[in-house]
């Protein structure tokens, strides 16, 4: 799967760890007439009972010893600053900070000068999953590390070997030379409920064995970071140093690895994300067995189905993954997937948003055969696809940032000339010569090539006019611009 965007908008995602913040309940007291005082006390007591917090101290005592602090040192190549810019207001404000490497990625690089190697340091968290020293953490914690040191809660320190890491899922596996170590118990992500209390232990800003708590905000959250992880969203207080730490449920089981935050500043702003433990364990098993990770690949570019696109394709509700293009020779191509198909489920798992598809495929193994329920030309169909290997290709999602509004179509079209068709790589299509009204507001530009309308390939203007006349609320144009293909919905007046 491939993510392409004509005008992408990105969240600012800071790689950090996830602590969790818990809110204390506040009870409002009201004066009650004496005749009703007893009933009021009884009601207040009953209402307070379900609000009791879980015993976080028990979870911490049982699992804290299996959580470790990770320190890394390494080198990075950078350009030496000209002498005139050293010191003063142009000096790097994070140069002497232990979290320099974390904050450095958000700062513009120095300009000019000769490349040189600079020492870097960083800190993170991790947790022991086997008594012989296997540790899970984030891949970004140990990226470019020359030396990795693991410190236990009893203050023993070990030099760790990085057995392997997977940038796509942000999971890394470490090994220390030790025996009879304390370990965590892992849970099942399908048992985790939105609104459930969760607890994190880590080392934010180097403060080792810090415990924080909060609730699960959402599950299966996809992020615009070219990953294929169905993240657990929590309201955790996440800061540098928590990365790679465990997220526990109230039974003391690890359900995730704290990994990312949404932030405009680089610090905690109330949204944090954890990698589901079942995905992390699958990555761990592959790394321990082979030293590398293989991800499955379908071979399509997909995009979100909004209400306008749902109306165009006559879907009852806006859900699924719309296929914007199919890679030639890919598993999707061999299975018969076509541009304009909407993938609604994989092996019975419903695709609510387009980001669900790469997350589901990432949990599969190359060579697996999956059943795809698709919507094609107003009818449901089922096809099977044998998944390939992703290699170094990141599974991503096409994004449609164009906004459609009311109005007439507003397009002046003409057929492709032979030389244009050869340049575009499409035998048929219509060139947009001018645009106005609803098409302009939807983001269509002169020079765009219209390849299909509502999933039907178009050859001439009359065909487009006929399809538009039969459409009720909107039409979906498959356009090609600068080699990228994407469906753009246009509302009809």
DSSP class of 26? -
**Six-digit token string for 41:** 């006390």
Backbone torsions φ then ψ of 309, nearest 5 degrees: -70, -40
**Six-digit token string for 360:** 């589901």
Asked if 342 and 320 touch (Cβ cutoff 8 Å), the reply is yes
Asked if 3 and 396 touch (Cβ cutoff 8 Å), the reply is yes
- Cβ partners under 8 Å of residue 452, min gap 6: 339, 340, 458, 477, 478
Instruction: Please tell me the distance from the alpha carbon of residue 385 to that of residue 387, in angstroms, as a whole number.
Output: 6
- Catalytic member of 71, 166, 170, 373: 170
**Six-digit token string for 405:** 């509004």
CB-count burial class (<10 Å; 0-12, 13-18, 19+) for 461: middle
- Catalytic member of 71, 140, 295, 471: 140
Active site residue 140: yes
Asked if 202 and 242 touch (Cβ cutoff 8 Å), the reply is yes
Asked if 35 and 431 touch (Cβ cutoff 8 Å), the reply is no
- Nearest Cα to Cα of residue 304 among 451, 440, 452, 476: 476
Cα Rg for the chain, rounded, in angstroms? 27
Cite the DSSP H helix spans in 159-306: 277-290
- Catalytic member of 71, 125, 243, 345: 243
- Nearest Cα to Cα of residue 14 among 240, 279, 274: 240
User: What count of other Cβ atoms lies within 10 Å of the Cβ of residue 401?
Assistant: 12
CB-count burial class (<10 Å; 0-12, 13-18, 19+) for 262: middle
User: DSSP letters along 171-209, please?
Assistant: EEEEE-S-SS---PEE--GGG--TT-EEEEEE-GGG-TT
**Which three-class secondary structure state does DSSP give residue 148?**
strand
Active site residue 328: no
Instruction: Please tell me the distance from the alpha carbon of residue 225 to that of residue 235, in angstroms, as a whole number.
Output: 20
Active site residue 243: yes
**Which three-class secondary structure state does DSSP give residue 458?**
coil
**Six-digit token string for 349:** 């798992």
Residue 234 φ/ψ region, left for φ over 0, alpha for ψ in the -120 to 50 degree band, beta for the rest = beta
**Signed CA dihedral, 235, 12, 222, 391: sign only:** negative
Instruction: Please tell me the distance from the alpha carbon of residue 284 to that of residue 291, in angstroms, as a whole number.
Output: 9
Residue with tokens 């179509």: 409
Which residues are known catalytic residues? Answer: 140, 170, 243
């Amino acid at each position: 799967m491939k993510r392409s965007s004509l005008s992408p908008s990105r969240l600012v995602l800071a790689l950090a760890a996830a602590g969790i913040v818990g809110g204390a309940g506040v009870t409002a007291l009201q004066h009650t007439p004496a005749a009703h005082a007893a009933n009021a006390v009884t009601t207040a007591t009953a209402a307070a009972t379900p609000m009791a917090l879980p015993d976080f101290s028990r979870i911490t005592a049982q699992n804290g010893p299996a959580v470790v602090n990770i320190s890394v040192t390494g080198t990075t190549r950078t350009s030496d600053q000209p002498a005139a810019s050293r010191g003063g207001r142009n000096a790097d404000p994070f140069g002497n900070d232990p979290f320099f490497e974390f904050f450095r990625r958000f700062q513009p690089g120095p300009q000019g000068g000769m490349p040189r190697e600079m020492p870097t340091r960083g800190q993170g968290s991790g947790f022991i999953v086997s008594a012989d020293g296997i540790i899970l953490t984030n891949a970004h914690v140990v990226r470019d590390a020359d030396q990795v040191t693991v410190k236990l809660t009893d203050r023993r320190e070990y030099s760790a070997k990085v057995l392997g890491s997977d940038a796509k899922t942000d999971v890394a596996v470490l090994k220390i030379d030790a025996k009879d170590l304390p370990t965590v118990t892992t849970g099942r992500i399908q048992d985790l409920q939105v609104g459930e209390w969760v607890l994190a232990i880590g080392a934010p800003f180097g403060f080792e064995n810090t415990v924080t708590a909060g609730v699960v905000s959402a599950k299966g959250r996809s992020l615009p970071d070219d990953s294929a992880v169905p993240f657990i969203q929590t309201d955790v207080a996440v800061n540098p140093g928590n990365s790679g730490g465990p997220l526990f449920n109230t039974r003391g089981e690890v359900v995730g690895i704290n990994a990312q935050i949404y932030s405009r500043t680089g610090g905690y702003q109330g949204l944090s994300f954890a990698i589901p433990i079942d995905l992390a364990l699958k990555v761990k098993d592959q790394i321990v067995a082979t030293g590398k990770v293989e991800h499955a690949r379908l071979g399509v570019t997909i995009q979100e189905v909004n209400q306008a696109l749902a109306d165009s394709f006559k879907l009852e509700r806006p859900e699924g993954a719309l296929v914007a293009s199919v890679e030639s020779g890919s598993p999707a191509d061999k299975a018969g997937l076509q541009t304009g198909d909407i993938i609604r489920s994989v092996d019975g798992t419903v695709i609510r948003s387009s980001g669900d598809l790469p997350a589901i495929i990432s949990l599969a193994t190359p060579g697996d055969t999956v059943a795809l329920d698709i919507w094609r030309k107003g009818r449901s169909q089922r096809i099977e696809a044998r998944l390939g290997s992703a290699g170094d290709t990141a599974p991503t999602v096409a994004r449609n940032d164009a906004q459609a509004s009311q109005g007439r179509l507003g397009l002046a079209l003409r057929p492709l000339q032979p030389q244009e068709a050869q340049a575009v790589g499409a035998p048929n299509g219509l060139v947009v010569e001018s645009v106005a009204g609803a098409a302009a507001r939807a983001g269509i530009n002169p020079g765009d090539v219209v390849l299909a309308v509502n999933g039907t390939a178009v050859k001439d203007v009359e065909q487009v006019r006929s399809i538009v006349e039969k459409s009720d609320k909107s039409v979906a144009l498959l356009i090609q611009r600068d080699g990228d293909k994407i469906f753009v919905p246009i509302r009809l007046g």
